[in-house]
Structure 1
């Protein structure tokens, strides 16, 4: 039974005390910027204590329907039995060894079968940043070039300097490193052609899609340009892998990259990621070649068993059912219901659910149609008060009719307040600070 949401003016004194402890011990109070206090309104629960399915509980005992769990990593739901059973068995048999384990081989074979790339190879890591940086190192070694071209319309590729140096948060990164990464716009073959013309780019790095599909021929064009210029095509599937209908973006869109990276949903919240790709490239990080050796990926915990066991469980479920298609159908149904509520309140052009069902988000615009962090905070405030927590509407297979009904009720509450804010302004309605962008130079 869902209990009442927290008081709209804020969590308990005990929860605030926990929050202060977090800020004393952790820069920013969280180990991930997207989970920071600046991303949520004042009444958001400072700390969570557990999750089950599509629900989470905070330190005050309040229960919420959660969206965007694990930064889009949770695709089966918290505590999914098959994942938990696989991980528990792996823990009992030892988590890290002096030599490779059989589990490493089994997980690698399972992932390649899931990707429908039996002739490829895979190297496991613990987070997506490592996988993408390993792909960049391979591409530079294979081509003898230094520059990396990233799709500048996509928000994140790595915590490493080669990417963070392109963001407003580039403090501490040498200009010489920043100069080695260049950008290109999504779905613009002419711009990419111009960028690759002088054959100085080692790799083109991009996601398949964020929300909208590209123009017909985009992926084929990227593949052709990379072939023509000897550039390595790296497909970042951190979000699309497992979560997209057809198992992956490669399968959904028919993309043929040289290297592809995976993480997030691959372990349903457990730490596991992978760089995968064509054998002739991946083998540069192995022992069967006579070229200069590439330090591809070598981590103390790269083959730690809990992540690999979780990966095997997720890919097993994904071989039996199209996880992404199931989530997409749920998301599309919820989008229709929420936008019907917004229309009923006359705010359908300002507060609405948007995007494909598998990565559903909500949009907050002011009376002039401009994006508004103040109104975003107000909407989130009211959703939280109604028992719905999240910076998006990205869901898992655990989100069912009951969760959707509660979300619709909370959305109705938020839309009513939103209409008042558009009419009279948010003063007196928003209790606390607006939300903010992660990518900003100053606090």
Structure 2
């Protein structure tokens, strides 16, 4: 690994930039063909400092290599999709075997039933499941089902949670409303996490109109005791469904998701990300009484067109998901991730304290799903200081847009990460004293949801 934590660092921005020469050339080609230069906003150039790898060529375990050959300990692992580690051999073997028989047919594959059985065994509260390719389709399927089941139009989202879908019912609540009709935007409202009174006030403002509440069971910190069950009961009293978005928490909080940890059974739930260890597969699951509306057997209610996609049940993805779930069942995956994350938190907090930066850099979240906050001298969140911390950890061989660990992270990786942060925090300390502009190369990163772009000189 290009580990500069103990040795000298490149002396100039020019020397640093030379490390990413191939990334830079490819980046300008990509922007000419792809809006934003990438197919996921969170992976875009505006989310990273100028001195960052632009393209990852390969990964193994928790290590990745960019197109210039630089090696990193990676966190976030494909936006939390790769829970077991990159190229997990048993998952790859299952996918390869499935591909040898073909990946898509005109009738269902038996893998569809096998994967469904494994999933329903993993998530005890679910009675039926339907697979698709991404989280947005799953959450939008839940919204459609809820509207059909209740006969209502409005949807209530947790306003404290950052993302539910690429579809209009959610994106219309963000600053990026271009292309979304006002009539659609007005069909979604919001409530605050952990605040039952706020949720009740929302129902009172829209009596008899809300089809469903959708929220993540947790963003990292545990919910207030009894909150999720009380919110579900409130939804039911008001005639709405209770939907949990377990894209992040599913198979990370526990094999059965956060709903298992917190002891609440939702009407509908969505899973994805870690479900296939990076393969494209997600799931909408829930109570039979609701899910059956997307089937072909019932006659008492109108049919719901639910998650019908050409590639929704590709065999290799379902084989990968089935094997991934087997590993979560048979091995201590979630326990290991909690233990590794706890060790990482302890050691990083010690380093932060050693630099006197407790008021500027904070480790937050559940041990299995850590993040960090980067604050300026006045204690306010700062994209510039976040970019600086990313820049300096990248220089030391760690790619950490978050601190989300995988099953593959081990003691050696944690030690390398702590050493990289130790060096980076020394620069952070100087930047607080002397100004971040003296140490950050180029423009800071930006938030995804903004109504207009600026024009940073380093982007096409």
- Normalising by structure 2, report the TM-score: 0.94
2:226 matched residue in structure 1? 217
Deviates more, 1:129-138 or 1:305-314: 305-314
Report the alpha carbon displacement of residue 131 of structure 1 after superposing the two structures with TM: 0.4
Matches within 5 A, 1:181-196: 181-196=188-203
Deviates more, 1:240-249 or 1:415-424: 240-249
CA contact (8 A) 1:247 1:324 kept: no
1:358 matched residue in structure 2? 368
CA contact (8 A) 1:364 1:372 kept: yes
Partner Cα separation in structure 2 for residue 188 and residue 15 of structure 1: 46
CA contact (8 A) 2:368 2:405 kept: yes
2:358 matched residue in structure 1? 348
User: Are residues 1:36 and 2:44 paired?
Assistant: yes
2:113 matched residue in structure 1? 105
1:306 matched residue in structure 2? 316
1:399 matched residue in structure 2? 409
User: Are residues 1:260 and 2:269 paired?
Assistant: yes
2:98 to 83, 90, 109: 90
Partner Cα separation in structure 2 for residue 247 and residue 30 of structure 1: 32
Report the alpha carbon displacement of residue 427 of structure 1 after superposing the two structures with TM: 2.5
Partner Cα separation in structure 1 for residue 131 and residue 334 of structure 2: 22
Report the alpha carbon displacement of residue 415 of structure 1 after superposing the two structures with TM: 0.7
User: Are residues 1:158 and 2:168 paired?
Assistant: no
Unpaired runs of 5+ residues, structure 1, are none
Partner Cα separation in structure 2 for residue 247 and residue 20 of structure 1: 43
Report the alpha carbon displacement of residue 71 of structure 1 after superposing the two structures with TM: 0.6
Cα RMSD (Å) of the superposition? 1.4
CA contact (8 A) 2:59 2:87 kept: yes
1:320 matched residue in structure 2? 330
Deviations 1:21-68 (A, max 9, x none): 111111111100001111111110111100000000011111000110
User: Are residues 1:436 and 2:449 paired?
Assistant: no
Deviates more, 1:409-418 or 1:343-352: 343-352
2:392 to 377, 382, 389: 382
Report the alpha carbon displacement of residue 4 of structure 1 after superposing the two structures with TM: 5.5
Partner Cα separation in structure 1 for residue 68 and residue 293 of structure 2: 52
Deviations 1:267-302 (A, max 9, x none): 110000010010010100001111211001100001
For the residue of structure 1 that corresponds to 2:130, the secondary structure is: strand
Deviations 1:100-129 (A, max 9, x none): 1100000001000011246x0011000000
Matches within 5 A, 1:146-295: 146-197=153-204, 198-245=207-254, 247-290=256-299, 291-295=301-305
Q: 1:322 and 1:234, CA in 2 relative to 1: closer, same or farther beyond 3 A?
A: farther
Unpaired runs of 5+ residues, structure 2, are 454-460
Deviations 1:165-212 (A, max 9, x none): 000011100000000000000011112122224121001101001022
Partner Cα separation in structure 2 for residue 180 and residue 416 of structure 1: 49
CA contact (8 A) 2:51 2:391 kept: yes
Q: For this pair of structures, how many residues does the alignment match?
A: 442
For the residue of structure 2 that corresponds to 1:355, the secondary structure is: strand
1:418 matched residue in structure 2? 428
CA contact (8 A) 2:90 2:323 kept: yes
